[in-house]
Copies of this chain bind each other. A is one copy, B any other.
Amino acid sequence: MPFRIKIPRSTIDRLPLYYRCLNLIEEHGIEEISSQVLGVRVGVDPSVIRKDLAWFGELGKRGVGYNVTYLKEAIGRILGLDKEWPFILVGAGKLGMALAEHNRKYGRHFHLVGVFDRDPEKFGLMVGGQRVSPMEEMPAFVKEKDIKIAMLAVPAEEAQKVAHELVKCGIKGILSYAPITLSVPEDVLVYNADYNLDLQRLAYYLSNDGNISWGE
C-alpha cells in the first residue's frame, strides 16, 4: 500500500546546496565524505545533514561516511535531476538575455527551449540558442511540448499578466525576476529571484547587526 511522507521544506531547500557541493568534491576525486566535513563545506550543521538525508533512507555507512558519487546521484534523483527539464524564458530584455546565455554555458538539467517577448523588434533575435518568438505563440508551444517551468524577466507592470497566461497554459513553476509578488493558484510554485529582496535583507543586517536596540 503506497503511502506518502511530507519532507520539511527546509530540507528540500538545502538539498541543492549539498548537490552543488558534492559535484565539486567528486571532481576533486574524493570518494568518501562525512557529514562533519560536508557540513563545513556547505556551512550546515552535520546533524542537520544527517537528518535531511535520513528522510530518504540509509544513504551512508556507519563508521565510514557517505560515498560521494552515490550520494550525489541519490540527491539528484530525489530532486528530479535524472531527467532534463525543458523551460521557457519570457522577456528578452538585457537581463533575460544574459540569463539565457548563462544557462547555455552552465546549465545542467535545465535547458531553454523557447524565448518569448511582446516587442516585435526582438522577434528573430537569437537568445540562449533560441530565436525570440512573439508572445502569442507561447500558449501553443507550452501546451504542445508540455513545459512545466518558466523564467519570467519582464517589467513589473507586465509580470502579473504574463504569470496568468503562463498558468493558463500549464506552467507549474515560475522563477520570477520581476519586482512584485505574483498571485497564482496554489498548485503553482513561484520563486522570487528579484535581487533587491536580498540586497534589502543584507542592508538590514548591516544596519542593525541582527538586532534592534531600544532605550538609552
Contact = CB atoms under 8 A, between A and B. Distances in A.
Interface of A: 1-7, 12-13, 15-17, 19-21, 24, 40-43, 55-56, 78-81, 85, 87, 94-95, 97-99, 101-102, 106-110, 148-149, 151, 156, 172-173, 175, 179-181, 183, 189, 191, 193-208, 210-216
B202 A191 contact: yes
A85 B2 contact: no
A1 B215 contact: yes
A95 B85 contact: no
B212 A4 contact: yes
A188 to B, nearest CB: 10
Given A98-B97, A200-B16, A213-B2, A206 B172 contact: yes
B201 A19 contact: no
Contacts of A40: 183
29 contacts: A1-B216, A2-B215, A4-B212, A7-B212, A12-B204, A16-B197, A17-B197, A20-B194, A21-B181, A41-B181, A78-B204, A79-B207, A80-B203, A80-B204, A80-B208, A85-B206, A87-B199, A95-B99, A99-B195, A108-B196, A109-B200, A148-B206, A149-B199, A149-B206, A172-B206, A173-B202, A173-B205, A173-B206, A175-B199
